[in-house]
Amino acid sequence: MSIEISNESGMDVSEEELLDVARFVIARMDVHPAAELSMVLVDLDTMADLHVRWMDLPGPTDVMSFPMDELEPGGRPDAPEPGPSMLGDIVLCPQFAADQAVKAGHPVDHELALLTVHGMLHLLGYDHAEPEEEKEMFGLQNQLLAEWYEEVRRAEQEALLAARDRKLLGKAGFVDTPES
């Protein structure tokens, strides 16, 4: 899987976290593992320009998605095995996201992870223009985000347990560690 990320926003953002959540969504949504994705983080003025140019709406927004290949999650059962594709571009505005995070009462990193999932779902053909579409997309968005957080928590717990085990085994003389 190839994901390129370019931070042109002027804000310090955890690019690794954004890459991790994007990879998670790609895996969960059965997108070919060799798919390509581009993520660009921009400032408010750049996002406002894109928003007017592509959506004919004034002012900046939080996330915009520009799909490249027509994709369907999981593909069709009667279709030949899908190959790699170019998903498209996700454009995030960290400053706009930071303002939204303050209003929502959660960290900016959470808002950016949520917007990454949202943008990925748009690239995969989901929309929220109609109430039924909105219910489906936001339900899936919340589910994917919760599952990603659970995976992150599990990995952190496993790392803590592994470190504890190495320390205990080192003290017992079973493993050479710098601490023993």
- Bind-site residues: 118, 122, 128
Residue 63 lies in a domain: yes
Residue 160 lies in a domain: yes
Residues 6+ apart with CB under 8 A from 112: 13, 14, 17, 18, 92, 94, 97
Number of C-beta neighbours around residue 65 at 10 A: 18
Print the domain residue range for 100.
2-68+85-172
Residue 80 lies in a domain: no
- Bind-site residues for Zn(2+): 118, 122, 128
Q: Which of 130, 136, 94, 134 is nearest to 115 (CA)?
A: 94
Task: Tell me the C-alpha distance between 136 and 141, whole Å.
Answer: 9
Residue 104 lies in a domain: yes
- Please answer whether residues 60 and 117 qualify as being in contact, where contact means their C-beta atoms are separated by less than 8 angstroms: no
Structural domain count, the chain: 1
The pLDDT score that the predictor gives to residue 33 is 79
DSSP, residue by residue, 51-91? HHHHH---S--SEEEEE-S---TT--TTSPPP---EEEEEE
Residue 77 lies in a domain: no
Residue 6 lies in a domain: yes
The pLDDT score that the predictor gives to residue 169 is 78
Which CATH number does the domain housing residue 15 bear?
A: 3.40.390.30
Residue 74 lies in a domain: no
**pLDDT per residue rounded down to tens, the chain (180 residues):** 789 999 999 999 999 999 999 999 999 998 887 889 999 999 999 999 999 999 999 999 999 999 986 555 554 445 555 556 789 999 999 999 999 999 999 999 999 999 999 999 999 999 999 999 999 999 999 999 999 999 999 998 998 898 888 888 777 676 555 654
Residue 126 lies in a domain: yes
Q: Which of 40, 31, 29 is nearest to 65 (CA)?
A: 40
The pLDDT score that the predictor gives to residue 176 is 59
pTM over 0.85: no
